[in-house]
Chains A and B, each alone.
Chain A
């Protein structure tokens, strides 16, 4: 008996396209107005595209049974869990913890996605990233987010030095610097 041969990646890809096609197609069909060919409603073009997508998905599935493919290979489970978590944590905490601590957490979580990262190194790295972000984005570009948020108790927040006067002083140095010489061409 001939064993069943198929390309798993292609099969799954085809199925994925069919599922997407069905989601968009059924939503267009049931929820949206088709209109006429002359005056197309919001559902006309999406339904057309969904049909094409399902057709392509079926074709990909059909082709996948003709040949054997390579195995899917390693999946970065640890990377996925931590890397994808990092922006979410940033989003959840940026208002409460404030910009600086939130960037610190985000970088720290992302650090552990690699098996090679050591805890102390990760802490130092995250701290550096947070300090740099504070300096460049918050003080430098002036992004309007609180640097230390309300979730951090006041006594601890007060320990963080207020750098605004220092930054203003540095900016003042640049402002009073002589303007660059005019171009030599004189145009």
Chain B
């Protein structure tokens, strides 16, 4: 089968009325929750995740992907209109987008973000379709040693992009790995760390952990200081960019797409890096660098395209290797496992309709976003004016219903309470929860591959260094760690993360 047959299969799967409906529902819900300030993309997806478990695997993943793009677009909307980026990847958009809005060009900024994202989405969907299958064949040759090294690289790389202290992020990863091991050991069947709690035998609930640590903890943080938000303007007009705007945004969109597609594949949350890199590049090559920070259209077009391209290509490691590149992908892995799918190179061969349907739905999702969000922008702006104290009781009720509906088990609800408390404590101690989630998902996989690799090598740990691919991945891991810890780069990194605060 060539790529076109595959894509046709994908579109046939994704374009059934049922799946189209779920894609649409996902995009709408994602945007709806995504525009709520203070709730980032990961929190949005974590809280909407249980809703998808009532569906079949393909529909569920299509809907989740829709939620992802929707949430991301919603995040850009809040970044532009009220200078409150939900997620760090849209923090860059806030710099120039908000300035454009202050000059009365909010409509143009939103349209540029949507059009740039759509273009980037088209290109990167094609890239995923072209590069995912050959990578799958490479991935099938990976042994346990390679997988272990690859996961190590992924985890370390994700730290490089976390906020704040690197040591704390590392510790959060390790804690996540340990939490992932709670439950019955697959090799020996012995129970680990269950402390007499019968419900722990199947492992900690992934959904409860995600909802608690991301959703509930974020709500609590927002409740600390109940200020009234000021929405810049309630009327957004002049959506369509002028000819001059189009001329100015073409270059940044193209470059942003390139940068984003490339960086999105890297393990460790490429989307954030991509938008920062795109912004820096645009600022450097611009003829009017002084306009940046004062409402330059390039400063919105570049990062937004890069952001979306990166979001899409970060599906490549997930679909080919089964390894999540960022916390959102970790949520997708969790969803796949709950649906009974083992993420990894086998998915493309065993479930081609799911694999290609998901890819096709990325493009459809982007199209729906463009068709829906620009006309509906008035509605999203209205959403911004709904007071927070009305929103979170609704969110809490739906989260509770959603988590309960997964297993019909009240214990999962008590877990939300516990994880919410722990998550809030971690936020207060300035520990980012994203590495924890990545570790939690990768913990069991990492242990399994470590044990298998050691069994194959008869207990010789040098197997990780004598196998060339594994050695290369480990060297890359050490390099990333060194680079992140080097004083000069550390300083630069802190500056970059300063800008967004």
A residues whose Cβ falls under 8 Å from a Cβ of B: 9-10, 12-13, 16-17, 20, 24, 27-28, 31-33, 36-46, 49-50, 52-53, 56-57, 59-60, 63, 72-76, 78-80, 83-88, 90-92, 94-95, 103, 106-108, 110-111, 113-117, 122, 125-126, 129-130, 133, 137, 141, 143-145, 180, 183, 187
Contacts and interface: CB of A to CB of B under 8 A. Distances in A.
Interface in B412-439: 412-414, 416-417, 420-421, 424-426, 428-431
Interface stretch (B220-228, B281-289, B297-305, B329-337): B220-228
B390 interface: yes
Contact of A75 (B224, B392, B420): B224
Interface string B398-418: 111101110010111110110
B400 A86 contact: yes
Contact of B174 (A52, A73, A183): A52
Interface stretch (B268-276, B342-350, B452-460, B474-482): B452-460
Interface residues of B, number: 71
Interface of B: 8, 15, 17, 54, 165, 167-168, 170-171, 174-175, 177-178, 181, 185, 187-188, 190, 192-193, 195, 216, 219-221, 223-226, 387-390, 392-394, 396-401, 403-405, 408, 410-414, 416-417, 420-421, 424-426, 428-431, 446-447, 450-451, 454-455, 458-459, 461
21 contacts: A9-B430, A10-B165, A27-B192, A36-B459, A37-B454, A38-B459, A40-B454, A45-B450, A46-B192, A53-B178, A74-B225, A76-B220, A79-B224, A80-B424, A83-B219, A88-B417, A103-B397, A106-B396, A110-B393, A113-B393, A125-B393
A42 B184 CA distance: 9
A82 B195 CA distance: 27
Given A36-B459, A79-B224, 16 more contacts: A13-B429, A37-B459, A43-B192, A45-B446, A53-B171, A56-B170, A60-B171, A63-B167, A74-B225, A80-B421, A90-B404, A91-B404, A106-B400, A107-B396, A129-B397, A133-B401
Nearest to A72: B428
Contacts of A73: 224, 428
Nearest to A51: B174
A12 B223 CA distance: 22
B172 to A, nearest CB: 8
Contacts of A38: 454-455, 458-459
Contact of B178 (A13, A46, A92): A46
7 tightest A-B contacts by CB? A38-B459, A91-B413, A79-B223, A114-B389, A91-B410, A42-B185, A110-B396
Contact of A20 (B167, B175, B396, B400): B175
Nearest to A38: B459
Contacts of B416: 87
A28 to B, nearest CB: 8
Contacts of A117: 389
Contacts of B428: 9, 72-73, 75
A107 B395 CA distance: 9
| Interface SS, B side | helix
B35 to A, nearest CB: 19
A110 B411 CA distance: 19
Nearest to B439: A49
B171 A56 contact: yes
B401 A111 contact: no
A36 B398 CA distance: 47
Contacts of B387: 116
A83 B223 contact: yes
Contacts, number: 205
A126 B397 CA distance: 9
B450 to A, nearest CB: 6
B451 A27 contact: no
Contacts of A125: 390, 393-394
Nearest to B192: A42
A132 to B, nearest CB: 9
Nearest to B398: A133
B298 to A, nearest CB: 35
| Interface SS, A side | helix
A59 B167 CA distance: 8
Which of B165, B401, B417, B428 counts the most chain A CB atoms within 10 A? B401
Contact of A90 (B219, B220, B394, B400): B400
B219 to A, nearest CB: 6
Contacts of B413: 87-88, 90-91
A49 B182 CA distance: 13
Contacts of A24: 178, 193
A185 to B, nearest CB: 10
A186 B136 CA distance: 32
Contact of A114 (B175, B178, B223, B394): B223
B224 A60 contact: no
B178 A50 contact: yes
Contacts of A49: 174, 177-178, 181
A92 B411 CA distance: 9
B186 to A, nearest CB: 9
Contacts of B430: 9-10, 13
A100 to B, nearest CB: 11
Contacts of A116: 226, 387, 389
A86 B219 CA distance: 13
A74 B427 CA distance: 12
A76 to B, nearest CB: 4
Contacts of A43: 192
Contacts of B224: 73-76, 79
A37 B459 CA distance: 5
Contact of B392 (A32, A42, A113): A113
B20 to A, nearest CB: 10
A39 B455 contact: yes
A133 B413 CA distance: 17
Which of B171, B181, B399, B426 counts the most chain A CB atoms within 10 A? B171
